[in-house]
Amino acid sequence: MPIDVPVLDIDPFDERFRSDPDAFHERLRAAGPVVFLEPYRAWAVARYAEVHEVLRDHERFCSAAGVGVANFWHEEPWRPPSLLVEADPPAHARPRRITARALSPRAIERFRPEFERHAGELAEAVVARGRFDGVVDLAQAYLVRAFPEAFGLDPDEGEKLLRYGDMAFNLFGPRNRLSEEAMAAGMPLHDWFIGRCARGSLAVGGIGAAVYAAVDRGEATEEEAGLLVRSLVMAGLDSTIDAIAWTLHLLATRPEEWAALHDDPALARPALEEALRYYSPVQHFFRTTTREVRLSGTVIPAKEKVLCFVGAANRDPREWEDPDRFDIRRRAANHLAFGSGVHACVGAGIARLEAEILLGALARRARTLEPAGPPRSRPHNILRSLAELPLRAGT
């Protein structure tokens, strides 16, 4: 038991936490810069300064021991560890360089015309209907076509990719009902997913093919390229769908903010960044201490799990003025929704491009956007997610 550190009986994977994370985040921040979570015998940080420090310091707080509940120093992972997410420098440098090249601003810009086409068609359709589901009819419908197509995958199989990605994210949490249900839905797709991410299954000119080009340059083996492709595909749908859905919810419940975006669709990117800060899709990730470390005066032993509450940090009043106000003109780009440091999300650029294009397409076509019913959350171990978002658009 730690000495002089607040010990909290808070379970971030419990239904009570998921039903009202903001209240628990406030308790975590108020308790102190570093706390100890009794249910998991793990340390935790929820204030911006400490979360930012842990995420950026891979030498003291590593990812190689797993970014979920599992500690790879003590237990076997259920799949080969990600060369990106679950590796640290120097081993992390080469995979990061390969994927950053495939997802560079210049590389992804070539997909803009197709993203705009898909976004325009969907925006036209939902505005014509008037009432629609912002998750299923817009965010999800858009991403399950735009993202697989850009990657070189069959967009008609986007629903399967969603199921597999849901399993991958949920398994960063404990073995609970949510992870078991996700496993039951996703594991039957395991062999299919590996086959679809093989070089021969990917279309020429897509992001996946660009990753495999590293094999031809002598920068990676075929197996390494396959692991990288699978990591990128697994992470490429759920969190971006949630980011778009939460942005729509926040804009719909604040008519003045939607009116500003309708008048100036160039505010789509700032609106997204502010929504990422306000409702961070990835709520928390773990790091593991590589040695005994001191963090904000607290000594944490070696090989201990440290849970970073990203969602709490992004609403920390020590960092943000009036943090519970949603303001699309706020300078929110220093939020931590995409992480920070060497492990900052390598796919952030394409996620931003996809979301900005869809939000702009809808803003140009809908003069008003308002709730058409209460939203329904989607229970998840890691993501703050919506299952339904009834909306009404007016012209």
Q: Tell me how many domains the chain contains.
A: 1
Does residue 266 sit within a domain? Answer: yes
pLDDT of residue 178: 95
Residues 6+ apart with CB under 8 A from 259: 368
Helices 112-129 and 141-151 sit at what angle, rounded to 10 degrees?
170
Q: In order along the chain (395 residues), what is the average pLDDT of each group of 10 residues?
A: 83 94 97 96 97 97 94 81 92 96 97 97 98 98 96 92 92 93 95 95 96 98 96 93 98 98 97 98 96 96 97 98 97 95 95 98 98 96 96 96
Does residue 1 sit within a domain? Answer: no
pLDDT of residue 347: 95
Domain of residue 125, residue span: 7-394
* Three-class DSSP category at 386: strand
pLDDT of residue 3: 64
CA distance 353 to 33: 35
CA 332 to chain CA centroid, Å, is: 17
pLDDT of residue 79: 74
Does residue 346 sit within a domain? Answer: yes
CA distance 72 to 76: 6
pLDDT of residue 81: 84
Does residue 30 sit within a domain? Answer: yes
Does residue 260 sit within a domain? Answer: yes
Do 282 and 51 meet the contact criterion of CB atoms below 8 Å apart? no
Residues 6+ apart with CB under 8 A from 311: 21, 25, 279, 280, 283, 284, 384
Residues 6+ apart with CB under 8 A from 256: none
Can you name the residues that pair with 369 across neighbouring β-strands? Answer: 393
pLDDT of residue 75: 82
Residues 6+ apart with CB under 8 A from 23: none
Do 189 and 157 meet the contact criterion of CB atoms below 8 Å apart? no
* Three-class DSSP category at 116: helix
Residues 6+ apart with CB under 8 A from 159: 144
Q: Which of 95, 30, 16 is nearest to 317 (CA)?
A: 30
Structure tokens at 33: 């810069």
Does residue 71 sit within a domain? Answer: yes
- For 352, phi then psi, to 5°, come to -65, -40
Does residue 156 sit within a domain? Answer: yes
Residue-level length of the chain: 395
CA distance 81 to 72: 9
Report in angstroms the alpha-carbon separations of 314 from 20, 29, 71, 281, 291: 16, 11, 26, 11, 27
Report in angstroms the alpha-carbon separations of 311 from 49, 208, 226, 278, 336: 13, 30, 31, 8, 8
pLDDT of residue 2: 60
Do 164 and 258 meet the contact criterion of CB atoms below 8 Å apart? no
CA distance 271 to 49: 24
Do 37 and 43 meet the contact criterion of CB atoms below 8 Å apart? yes
Of the CA atoms within 13 Å of residue 41, those in its CB half-sphere come to: 6
Count H helices and E strands in the chain, helices first.
17, 13
Supply the CATH number for residue 124's domain: 1.10.630.10
First-to-last CA distance in the chain?
60
